[in-house]
Amino acid sequence: MDRIRIQAWVACAAVLGALAACAPIKPAPAPAEPAAARPSCTAAVAGDPLVGNWLSVSSQRGVAGSVRRLYTLNSDGTMNYVEQVKRPRTPSQGLDESGCWSHEGQTLILRTLESNGSSVNLDDPIYTNRYRVDRANATDLRLSGPDGAVQARRMSPGYRLPF
pLDDT for res 19: 46
Are residues 78 and 100 in contact, defined by beta-carbon separation less than 8 angstroms?
A: yes
DSSP codes joined into one string, 85-129:
EEETTEEEEEEEEEEEEEEETTEEEEEEEEETTEE--TT-GGGEE
Q: Contact 133/50 with Cβ under 8 angstroms? A: yes
The neighbour count for residue 111, using CB atoms within 10 Å, is 19
3-state secondary structure of 67: strand
Q: Residue 89's pLDDT is what?
A: 85
| pLDDT of the residue at 92 | 83
- The Cα–Cα gap between 74 and 95 comes to 19
By CB neighbour count within 10 A (0-12 exposed, 13-18 middle, 19+ buried), where does 96 fall?
Answer: middle
Distances in Å between the Cα of 108 and the Cα atoms of 2, 37, 84, 103 are: 84, 23, 21, 5
Tally of CB atoms within 10 A around 54: 22
CA–centroid distance for 41 within its chain: 16
User: Can you give the pLDDT of all 163 residues of the chain as single tens digits?
Assistant: 566 655 555 555 555 455 455 555 555 555 544 455 778 999 999 999 999 999 999 987 777 889 999 999 999 999 999 999 888 888 888 999 999 999 999 999 999 999 999 999 999 999 999 999 999 999 999 999 988 899 999 999 989 988 6
Looking at the DSSP bridge assignments, the partners of residue 113 are: none
- How confident is the model at residue 131, as a pLDDT? 96
Convert the pLDDT of each residue in 105-138 to its tens digit: 999 999 999 999 999 999 999 999 999 999 999 9
Q: In Å, how far are 41, 53, 74, 157 from 50, measured between CA atoms? A: 15, 9, 9, 13
Q: What is the pLDDT of residue 8?
A: 54
